[in-house]
Amino acid sequence: MSENFGSPGQIQPLSIGNVVSAAVRLYRSHLKTYLKLALTAHLWVLVPIYGWAKYAAISGLISRLAFGELIYQPESVQAASSHINPRLWSFLRVGFQVGISLLVIYFGLAIVGSLLGGLIGVVLGGILGVSTGITVTIMGVIVTIVLVLLGLTWFYSRWVVAEVPLAVEENINGGESVARSWELTKASVLRIQGVVLIAFVVTLPLVFVLNYIPQLFLVKLERGSTIYGIVYIISMIGSLVGGVFVMPFWQALKAVLYLDLRSRREGLGLQLR
């Protein structure tokens, strides 16, 4: 894949489809390396604090490797790790900062959505002359779901590449990396939301088969039974495998987005392989 961004005056953002297809091709061409790193990252999750930092750092490592391929400056895993490892705790900080921020935003949107939906329900109930209680409940649920989904995807789009600057750029810390993502994405939120939606659809079949289907079986089984234990173990293994396969794709996608955003906003004049 070769797509020239050109000079600063000619730089155009990649389309939603181009971003996703670039990530898919990059992921497929380095499948073995990325899957090995993703498996290591998911095993580290079992170790509290330090293991979580390792998971976050390896996520950044995959994005750095992908970014290097995109700009024709590939690195070995060892060379890239020498840049990533000293920033281990900064990657953990980025993960916690973004995660906690999204959690607070989620609760705030849920509260606002339920109040707004209830108000709309009362007004509609009075106008239409239907049961106010039922109308309030229905409108509250609908408005809350819509507001939460739109709001979370908007904020997630602003922080989608939060760890990539830390993985790629010099002389930057965790807080600055999050702020860098916010700055780079400010004029591209709707396009990034489209990329996130398409990427979610692309990975949904795999996630559904490995993560959701085993969970559906658990609902119908009696807790504590032998069969429940077996299905639960299968479910955990499926979740692990699903995470291992999906994680590198998302990190490659972030690398493509980051390069696109920097090239468009800062005129790097780079080529996308």
- The predicted-structure confidence for 159-198, as pLDDT tens digits, reads as follows 999 999 999 999 999 999 999 999 999 988 999 999 999 9
Q: Is residue 273 part of a domain?
A: no
Q: Does residue 2 carry a pLDDT above 60?
A: no
For residue 179, being part of any structural domain is answered with yes
pLDDT reported for residue 122: 72
At 90, is the pLDDT very low, low, confident or very high (cuts 50, 70, 90)? Answer: very high
Distances (CA, A) of 76 to 61, 80, 149, 166: 11, 6, 39, 18
Q: Are 144 and 117 in contact (CB under 8 A)?
A: yes
pLDDT at residue 79, as a whole number = 96
Query: How would residue 235 be classed by pLDDT, with cut points 50, 70 and 90?
Result: confident
Q: Is residue 168 part of a domain?
A: yes
- Averaged confidence pLDDT in the chain: 86
Q: How confident is the model at residue 94 (pLDDT cuts 50, 70, 90)?
A: very high
Q: Which of 36, 32, 42 has the alpha carbon at shortest distance from 240?
A: 42
Task: Return the pLDDT at 233.
Answer: 85
Average pLDDT score over residue span 44-63: 96
Q: How many domains does the chain have?
A: 1
- Residue 156 · residue 74 · CB < 8 Å: no
Pair 117, 143: CB distance under 8 Å: yes
Contact 20, 270 (CB under 8 A): no
Q: What is the DSSP letter of 76?
A: -
Whether the per-residue pLDDT at 123 is higher than 80: the answer is no
Mean pLDDT along residues 14-34: 92
229 falls within a domain = yes
Q: What pLDDT does 180 receive?
A: 95
Which pair of structure tokens corresponds to residue 67? Answer: 């970014």
Q: Is residue 52 part of a domain?
A: yes
Whether 11 shows a pLDDT value over 80: the answer reads no
The Cα–Cα gap between 181 and 254 comes to: 11
Residue 60 resides in a domain: yes
For 82, phi then psi, to 5°, come to -65, -25
Q: What is the C-alpha R_g of the chain?
A: 21
Domain assignment present for 66: yes
* pLDDT value, residue 267: 64
Secondary structure of 152-212 as H, E, C letters: HHHHHHHCCCCCHHHHHCCCCCHHHHHHHHHHHCCCCHHHHHHHHHHHHHHHHHHHHHHHH
**pLDDT of 116 strictly over 60:** yes
Q: Can you say whether residue 72 is alpha, beta or left, with left for phi > 0 and alpha for psi between -120 and 50 degrees? A: left
Instruction: Give buried/exposed letters for 40-76 (b at 16+ CB in 10 A, else e).
Output: ebbebeeeeeeebbbbbbbbbbbbbbbbbbbbeeebe
3-state SS record for 210-246: HHHHHHHHHHCCCCCCHHHHHHHHHHHHHHHHHHHHH
Is the distance from CB of 68 to CB of 74 less than 8 angstroms? yes
Report yes or no on 15 lying in a domain. yes
Full residue range of the structural domain in which residue 250 is found: 7-268
Give the predicted TM-score (pTM) of the model. 0.85
Average pLDDT over residues 226-231: 80
- Alpha carbon of 26 to those of 19, 74, 180, 250, 253: distances in Å? 11, 12, 24, 11, 9
